[in-house]
Amino acid sequence: MSRESYALLTGLFVIALGAALIGIANYLGDYGIQREVYTVVSRGSVAGLNPESTVIYRGVPAGKVASIRFDPEDVGTVLVQIEIEPGLPMTQGTYAMLRVQPLTGLAQIELADAGDHPVPLLTDPKDPARLPLRPSVFEKLTASAQELLPQLAEVANRLSSLADEKNRAQLQKILGNLDLATRELIAVEARLNETLATLPQLSIKAQKTLTEMAHLTRDLAHSSREIRSLARNTDGLVASGKEGLEALNRRTIPKADALITDLQRAAASLARLSRQLEADPQVLLLGRQPPPPGPGEPGYGDQR
């Protein structure tokens, strides 16, 4: 093979190798893909987050972190610029959170949407739209734990103060009372069991009493019917009595009044006769003497 052939093969190999390297670089570096740029704003720490960290949207890889810097207008604010695939439903309710890997400690940015502001969020590479970085569940638990530590220390101090000799004696006394109460409850339970054992007999007696009450109810119903019949007979008797009283008032009472008047007159006559006999008993034998003549009558002057 001539020298020209070797040179040609060498040139072709270099060209192929360069093309392969360019393809690999494009595949690994995602060069040439148009992405949407957003800025994640954080007031806290972004430890574990680095450039080229993965951006996840609802659990699906959607982009990467382009840069991390402080806000020149407010050094307490961290600005994380991210690049994500176009077409994602970014809205004004979309927010970001840090997801820390358990083993490596590296962080990723996870995008989520609360759904309370469905208006689309427009962005511009020269003036990227901003997304708030909310604390993750781990950060919330850490903050809560830090707030709880002083309270736990205070509770421990109070428990330590409660565990002195006097309080321990009181606790022992309370435990003794609880033991006594438990024994009393056991005794009460035994008595309740005995009482429950007698309940069937009481039930039989109650059924017998109910049967007797049913018989008594039937007797009372029969007596009530008889009383109603007697009341109806009494009403008839009262009506008959009223008719008799009316007849007595119309016929007998006037005759009785006349008889009583005659009897009174006869009694008066007998009273006068009795007084005359007492004054002159001869009247009974000789009869009643005529009264002496009055003035102007014959014989008036002879008596003088």
Domain ranges of the chain: 1-32, 34-136
Distance CA 213, CA 156 (A): 69
DSSP state of 40: E
Query: What confidence score (pLDDT) does residue 34 get?
Result: 78
Per-residue pLDDT of 261-280, as tens digits, reads 777 777 777 777 677 666 66
Q: In 3-state terms, what secondary structure has residue 114? A: coil
Per-residue pLDDT of 18-47, as tens digits, reads 888 887 766 665 555 678 999 999 988 888
Distance CA 28, CA 246 (A): 135
Query: What confidence score (pLDDT) does residue 187 get?
Result: 82
DSSP β-ladder status, 129-134 and 36-42: parallel
Distance CA 202, CA 244 (A): 61
Segments of the chain scoring below 50 in pLDDT? 304
Question: Tokens 């407010």, residue?
Answer: 74
Q: In 3-state terms, what secondary structure has residue 166? A: helix
Distance CA 136, CA 103 (A): 17
Query: What confidence score (pLDDT) does residue 143 get?
Result: 63
Distance CA 15, CA 13 (A): 5
The 3-class SS string of 23-69 reads HHHHHHHCCCCCCEEEEEEECCCCCCCCCCCEEEECCEEEEEEEEEE
Query: What confidence score (pLDDT) does residue 140 get?
Result: 64
- pTM of the complete model: 0.42
Distance CA 98, CA 60 (A): 15
**Residues ≥6 apart with Cβ < 8 Å to 156:** none
Question: Tokens 């077409």, residue?
Answer: 87
What's the CA angle centered on 114, arms 72 and 133, to 5 degrees? 20
Distance CA 109, CA 115 (A): 19
**Among 138, 158, 148, residue whose Cα is nearest residue 44:** 138
